[in-house]
Chain A
């Protein structure tokens, strides 16, 4: 069982082909910046630039290949979304249904702020006269005697 678990866990991070050679510094910086925007398919919320998994390594090699081929950043993002969907982007674009994720919190914040401001501006109504405290008559003469003593 332990062997099976270790095999399954380690199989994503096993020795693999050596990565492709780095490009010249300006283009390699683009590769790393793009890699930071793309989600590793085998990890939890990691970019392919930050992951050492085999799939991330393969995708980084592809980014490097596309940068070397002269593709623009948008063309490279499009390449990945055409294969992995918007899931591939660590930060989904603010368009379509995604726009709700950006707008709703703002709307709720503004709405909540307005509601608070409105409540604070409203004059405080005068407090109603306090009703005389109803004291139930105790049926226990001993308790009544103690109370009378305390009141003295």
Chain B
């Protein structure tokens, strides 16, 4: 092989390697998976009114104790399956974390009928025009966000949460550092 042929071969091999790297990095992840960019960052502040009595709830006032935010809607089938799990979590871990539901893209009337009927065990908040949901990077419902006592967004579950996962996530809020993300 001539010296020139060797260089051309090396260049082609390098280009192929780069192409393979790009393809491998692209095919290695789920294209539907939306990155969770706010992990480890301060949770966006909000002031929302409670669905039951209209009282304002401000995130800044909740600091000092972990917060679990569950986004849901009355029109969402998986939310109906998930709601009893969150209600159970609120009863079981109520001493360790503050549980709030956030109504996503729904009417107050429908949300009240949904939240009031099965179990009004944790406060529900109304998010007008879903402004706060988009601030949190919500991609759909149900999604559950975990905020530590210092107000740092530590994790999210972008799927109906099960009791084991909920217990593990709440336990992880006491440990330093981020935990794994569960994606729908």
Contact = CB atoms under 8 A, between A and B. Distances in A.
Interface in B118-139: 128-131, 133-139
B19 interface: yes
Contacts of A54: 73, 104-105, 130, 140-141
Contact of B18 (A8, A57, A65, A104): A104
B139 A41 contact: yes
Interface string B61-91: 0000000000001011110000000000000
Contacts of A108: 15, 19
Nearest to A9: B77
A23 interface: no
B165 interface: no
Given A84-B37, A85-B37, 13 more contacts: A7-B77, A8-B77, A11-B75, A14-B75, A14-B76, A16-B105, A54-B130, A58-B104, A84-B34, A85-B35, A100-B22, A104-B22, A108-B19
Interface of A: 4, 7-8, 10-12, 14-17, 20, 41-42, 53-55, 57-59, 61-62, 65, 81-85, 87, 97, 100-101, 104, 107-108, 111
